[in-house]
C-alpha cells in the first residue's frame, strides 16, 4: 500500500513539474511577444492557456484520489493539501500570461515609444520566482522557497517605478494616455505573477515545516 502511495506522490511531482514547464514556456513567449510585438506568438500563449487549465484539473483530480483512497496524515497530508493550493496559483499565473499577451495585441496596433526596461525586468524576476517556487515544491527544497520569498519586494519596487514614470509622462503628454494604461496593465499582471509565486513558496514552506505565513489578501 505504501509503495502505491509513493508511486502516486511521484506522479504528482512529475505532473507539477510538467505544469511548471508549461508556465515557464508561456512566460518566455509572453516576454518575447512583448519585446517584438509579435501578435502570432501572443496568440499562441492565449491558446496554450487551455492546456494549463486542463493540467490543473488533472492534478486536482490526482490530489483528490490521494486524499480519498490513501487517507494521508501529517507530512503527506500537508504535501497534498499544499499541492491543491499551489495549482490554483499556477493556473492564475497562466491567466496573467494570457492577459498580457492579449494586451500585446492592442499594443502592436500603435507606434509605442516608451522604454519598457522596468517591465522586462519584472518579467524576468517574476518568471524566475515562478520557476524556483515550483522547483522548490518538486525537490522539497525549503531554502529555495525562502529565496523566492525575498524576491517579491523587487517586483513591487519595479511596479512602482513603472507607475511613477507613466504618470510623469502622462502629465507632460496627454496623448500618452492609452499607452500608459497598456503599460500599467502589463506591469500589474507581472506584479501579480510575483505575488502568486510568493504564495507558492509559502505553501512549499508549509508543506515542509507545518507553519504557514499568512498569504496576502486577494492573491
pLDDT digit string (tens) for 159-169?
999 988 888 87
pLDDT over threshold 50, residue 29: yes
Question: Domain containing 199 — which CATH number?
Answer: 1.20.58.220
> 173 lies in a domain?
yes
Q: What is the pTM of this model?
A: 0.91
Packing angle of the helix pair 2-36, 74-107 (nearest 10 deg): 20
Residues 117-163: tens digit of each pLDDT: 899 999 999 999 999 999 999 999 999 999 999 999 999 999 999 98
Residue 67 resides in a domain: yes
When computed from its CA atoms, the radius of gyration of the chain, rounded to whole angstroms, is: 19
Q: Is the dihedral of CA 185, 186, 189, 191 positive or negative?
A: negative
Helices of type H across the chain: 2-36, 39-65, 74-107, 117-138, 142-149, 152-172, 177-209
Number of domains in the chain: 1
Residue 163's Cβ-count burial label (10 Å; 0-12, 13-18, 19+) is: middle
Residue 12 C-alpha cell reads as 504528482
Q: Structural domain of residue 77, as residue ranges?
A: 2-209
At 165 the pLDDT is 85
Task: Check if the beta carbon of residue 200 is closer than 8 Å to that of residue 93.
Answer: no
CA 58 – CA 91 distance, rounded (Å): 12
Is residue 90 over pLDDT 60?
yes
Amino acid at each position: 500500500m505504501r509503495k502505491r502511495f509513493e508511486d502516486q506522490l511521484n506522479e504528482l511531482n512529475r505532473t507539477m513539474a510538467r505544469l511548471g514547464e508549461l508556465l515557464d514556456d508561456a512566460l518566455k513567449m509572453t516576454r518575447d511577444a512583448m519585446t517584438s510585438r509579435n501578435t502570432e506568438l501572443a496568440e499562441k500563449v492565449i491558446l496554450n492557456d487551455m492546456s494549463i487549465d486542463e493540467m490543473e484539473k488533472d492534478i486536482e483530480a490526482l490530489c483528490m484520489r490521494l486524499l480519498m483512497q490513501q487517507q494521508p496524515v501529517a507530512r503527506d497530508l500537508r504535501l497534498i493539501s499544499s499541492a491543491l493550493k499551489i495549482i490554483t496559483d499556477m493556473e492564475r499565473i497562466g491567466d496573467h500570461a494570457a492577459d498580457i499577451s492579449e494586451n500585446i495585441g492592442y499594443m502592436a496596433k500603435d507606434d509605442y515609444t516608451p522604454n519598457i526596461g522596468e517591465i522586462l525586468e519584472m518579467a524576468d524576476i517574476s518568471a524566475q520566482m515562478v520557476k524556483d517556487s515550483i522547483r522548490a515544491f518538486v525537490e522539497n527544497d525549503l531554502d529555495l522557497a525562502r529565496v523566492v520569498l525575498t524576491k517579491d519586494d523587487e517586483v513591487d519596487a519595479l511596479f512602482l517605478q513603472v507607475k511613477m514614470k507613466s504618470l510623469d509622462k502622462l502629465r507632460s503628454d496627454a496623448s500618452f494616455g492609452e499607452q500608459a494604461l497598456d503599460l500599467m496593465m502589463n506591469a500589474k499582471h507581472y506584479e501579480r505573477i510575483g505575488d502568486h509565486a510568493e504564495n507558492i513558496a509559502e505553501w512549499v514552506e508549509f508543506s515542509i515545516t507545518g507553519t504557514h505565513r499568512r498569504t496576502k489578501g486577494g492573491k
